[in-house]
Structure 1
């Protein structure tokens, strides 16, 4: 996973401002602008920007990664919130797709997110 961009949590002052704006939106997708120039992006992208800001405002640092990125067992465990050993068991049992790179298991972020969503709905 390319970890060149990690956004730190917002300062207390910025977090309060962002939280207030998000509450005003009341679930609506915000308009997005860069340096005052409006961007015509779909509601999915606007909601993603809002979720990024929500996470940063709640004190969470965020890493942005492409969905197709391959992750190590340790990274996969972190995404799923489980141990490395449990991730290896999921992979070895076929319940979690893997790609082998030599003798190393690699996991697609999109597969991990799908697995996490499926197990959360049970």
Structure 2
């Protein structure tokens, strides 16, 4: 089971807010450093990071969560052409990754498509 919980950050202290606001200015360029190596972010990531930093510079608390196309088990089973029960059994055995939203199972569309592709490969080999 894979669970990607949102990450919640409290607002910055006023002095940190001011320093970040000054640094950002009207910038639309974001370069990050990972282990001392500079990486320039692509436009999609730049927009998200700048939005996050601007919110923090205003003193806002921020929640960051990943978004993947998640399907209900019924939707995933229909996409795969299998029964809902068969799919649930596969998630129970760990054959297809599942995420939980409360008590409800959700399956990434990429995971069900990968499983379908593996079935094609198994059929060709068998």
TM-score, scaled to structure 1: 0.46
- Greater C-alpha radius of gyration: 2
TM-score with structure 2 length normalisation?
0.45
